[in-house]
Amino acid sequence: MLNMKYLLRGAKISFGFNPPGNIMYFFISIVQTTLSVYITVILGNTINEIQDKIGGNSSLSEIIFPIILLGIFSVLLWILVELRWRFSDDILPLKSRVRAQTKIIDLSRNIPVREFDREDFNTEYSKFADGYNELCSFLPSLTSLINMTYRLILSSVILFQMHFSFPVIILIFLVIGFALNINYANTLNDLWAKTQKISRKSDYLAKQFSGKNNRDTRLLHLKDKFVNDWLEINKTLTGLNAEGRKKTDRPFAIYISFCEQIAGLIAIVICLFLIENGALQIGAIYIVWNLISGAVGNAQNFQRAVTNLILNGKKFKTIFNFYDKYSVSPKIKNQGTSNFIKSDIPIEIKNLTYKYGEDITAVNDLSLSINKGESIALIGENGSGKSTLIRCILGLYKPESGSVKIYGSESYETDEKIIRQNISVTFQDYCSYPFTLRENVGFGDIDDIADDDKILSAIKFANADEILSKSGTLDAVLGRQLNPDGFELSGGQWQRLALARAYMNMRDIAIFDEPSAALDPIAELKQFETLKSALKDKTSILISHRIGFARLADKIVVMDKGRIVEQGTHEYLLSLDGKYAEMFNAQKKWYDLDYSETEKEGA
């Protein structure tokens, strides 16, 4: 039930986040508990001394000493309580969170990109990340549980010395309490599993009212729909939580506050009886009441801690299974940077099939070779499989069947580093960073981020000079997500920066997925010219719906439903009068116009 193996592993990791901090926290907790129990005992004994003094059996000095001791202990206790809070609130969490987060990020780098395309995987991943973060507080919680157990044992030993019935009272009430609430852990575990997925949807809906989504929500009049959906979900969430509490915390809290009084009262009656018999003195009432009601009253915290331990065992099992699944990179590491032998063919695809799930065959038995220095234009309608093919080439997706080789090496099994050293890529859904202009371009080659000349020439190459004139300096912040003074850019301007980023470090193989989708036709034609010179001597794949772009390439490859349906030069494909000719004719007029516009502009 306790999943000991996973708990021990969790404790080891949690301890490793901050070993000295955890040791100190444990030490402080134990000393604090010992001190607070002994203060109760000393106070009880002092009451006895006072009673003796009143009865003339004791001298004043015998009372003063314990009172001074009490004063010193109380100050010490106060310092320890303060220290313990510092540790549990500031010192332990900060360092542990950084360590846990670093581990999560390291692991996420091993996870195949295609996994993140699946909704169920994202739920699994966020469950893992939340759970792994909880490891930070695991050892401190375990320390609290050990400390509570220690307090219970210490109190029982002291009480046993006074009379055997006192620890028996504690035991009886604790056992009844636990028995009444035996399903506590299971109920909470079920609740956690049920609420996870619903909470994600609730968070998503809440986000539709802020940031850029707010605009669409308003314009499309979606407010009522989203608010109603959110309300429904939150009604379910509140219902589930209330149901859980009804079965767990609520009955227990009522039971405990009742038992605390009853147990204390029974103990006092026994105490009075023992005082009457001369077995105990009056101060015993104080000690017995405090220790017994303290122990019984603490039962809820105790049970919560035990429950959390059981729940942690279950959670850790899921977390560590997930961790182990991805802790080893799926890339077969026989392709270290040193033993990668480059063959002559940059890209060689044979009978490649890739499926999303069972049903969607995005790339279907596709074969294609791209020679050194050759440039290919990949065209096809929406959903024909172009971007998926690129992901397979980059080794991000594992082929269902067939193979994709980069310089002779199976791309899915090749070290990411080698892929990066040989291929530069601009994705269709490129990133726009709300950071500086320097970072937006320099991220293309992080090692040269301080090299102004290189960044400036990449900006020039991508025809993004106007962004620099607007911002004035490379270090101006772009976008307003993180900085209210940032320069906001248009969609086309962001795309130019994505291109500049690619120009920072052009590799032997260059891939551009829709590099001109957000550009106006004139900017697109300018981009043509730049790309033409940038791609000289490179092996390249250009994806575009715009036929004008396709004409840049040595060979045009037309995709349809995951297959190559036509390939060859512009003239050859026109002569086929097939898919390409159809697309070309549909766009022809547009391009005739654009060319004449630029000619006019250039004249």
**For binding to ligand ATP (CB under 6 A), which residues are involved?**
117, 356, 360, 362, 380, 382-388, 428
Name which of 131 and 380 has its Cβ closer to ligand ATP.
380
Residue 93 or 385 having the CB closest to ligand ATP: 385
Of residues 363-392, those binding Mg ion (CB under 5 A): 387
Choose between 545 and 570: whose C-beta lies nearer to ligand ATP: 545
Nearer to Mg ion, 387 or 587 (CB): 387
Residue 262's contacts (CB-CB under 8 Å, 6 or more residues apart) are 173
Q: Are 36 and 77 in contact (CB under 8 A)?
A: yes
CB nearer ligand ATP, residue 18 or residue 384: 384
Q: Which is nearer to ligand ATP, 404 or 478 (CB)?
A: 404
Closest C-alpha to 270, from 176, 169, 173: 169
Number of residues that this document lists for the chain: 603
Contact of residue 339 among ligand ATP, Mg ion, none (CB under 5-8 Å per partner type) = none
What would the two tokens of residue 293 be? 């009601």
Binding site partner of 311, from Mg ion, ligand ATP, none, Cβ cut-off 5-8 A by kind: none
The Cα–Cα gap between 554 and 174 comes to 82
Provide the 8-state DSSP code for 280. S
The minimum distance between CB 386 and ligand ATP, in angstroms, equals: 4
Give the nearest distance from C-beta 429 to Mg ion in angstroms.
8
Lookup result for tokens 């309490």: 177
State residue 252 phi and psi, 5-degree precision: -70, -40
Of Mg ion, ligand ATP, none, which one does residue 14 interact with (CB within 5 to 8 Å by kind)?
Answer: none
Three-class DSSP category at 581:
helix
What is the Cα–Cα distance from 595 to 396, expressed in whole angstroms?
A: 38
| Least CB distance to Mg ion at residue 508 (A) | 23
The item of Mg ion, ligand ATP, none sharing an interface with residue 421, based on CB under 5 to 8 Å by kind, is none
Nearest-angstrom CA–CA distance, 371 and 347: 7
19 binds, among Mg ion, ligand ATP, none (CB under 5 to 8 A by kind): none
Site for Mg ion in 439-478 (CB under 5 A): none
Sheet holding 555-560, edge to edge: 423-426, 509-513, 539-543, 375-380, 555-560, 563-568
User: Which entry of Mg ion, ligand ATP, none binds 409, CB below 5 to 8 A by partner kind?
Assistant: none
Chosen from Mg ion, ligand ATP, none, partner binding at 384 (C-beta under 5 to 8 Å by type): ligand ATP
Sign of CA dihedral 570, 576, 579, 584: positive
Quick one: what does residue 239 bind among ligand ATP, Mg ion, none, with the CB cut-off 5 to 8 Å set by partner type?
Answer: none
User: 509-513 and 401-406: which strand pairing?
Assistant: unpaired
Cβ distance 341 to 522 under 8 Å? no
Helix, strand, coil content of the chain in percent (nearest 5)? 65, 10, 20
Shortest distance (Å) from residue 388 CB to ligand ATP: 3
- Where in 415-444 is the site for Mg ion (CB under 5 A)? 428
34 belongs to the binding site for Mg ion (CB under 5 A)? no
Residue 362 to residue 80: CA distance in whole angstroms: 63
Q: Pick between residue 195 and residue 428 the one whose CB is nearest to Mg ion.
A: 428
Minimum separation from the CB atom of position 396 to ligand ATP (A): 11
Q: Residue 192 binds what, of ligand ATP, Mg ion, none (CB under 5 to 8 Å, by partner type)? A: none
- From the CB of 381, what's the least distance to ligand ATP, in Å? 7
Nearer to ligand ATP, 148 or 573 (CB): 573
Q: How far is it, in rounded angstroms, from Cα 504 to Cα 445?
A: 6
* Amino acid letter, 184: Y
By beta carbon distance, the residue nearest Mg ion is: 387
CB of residue 428 to Mg ion, shortest distance in Å: 5
Q: How far is the CB of 558 from ligand ATP (least distance, A)?
A: 11
Using the minimum distance from each CB to ligand ATP, give the nearer residue, 392 or 449.
Answer: 392
- Comparing CB distances to ligand ATP, the nearer of 337 and 382 is 382
Q: How far is the CB of 557 from ligand ATP (least distance, A)?
A: 12
The nearest distance, CB 307 to Mg ion, in angstroms, is 49
Nearer to ligand ATP, 21 or 380 (CB): 380
Determine contact, residues 406/539, Cβ cutoff 8 Å: no
What residue 473 binds from ligand ATP, Mg ion, none (CB within 5 to 8 A, per partner kind)? none
Are 516 and 591 within 8 A, CB to CB?
A: no
Q: Closest Cα to residue 518, out of 444, 600, 430?
A: 430
Per the listing, tokens 């009742």 go with: 258
Q: How far apart are the first and last CA of the chain?
A: 81
Report how far residue 397's alpha carbon sits from residue 399's, in angstroms, rounded to the nearest whole number.
6
| Least distance between ligand ATP and beta carbon 428 (Å) | 5
User: Phi-psi bin for 479: left (phi > 0), alpha (psi -120 to 50), beta?
Assistant: left
CB 519 within 8 A of CB 462: no
Site residues (CB under 5 A) for Mg ion?
Answer: 387, 428
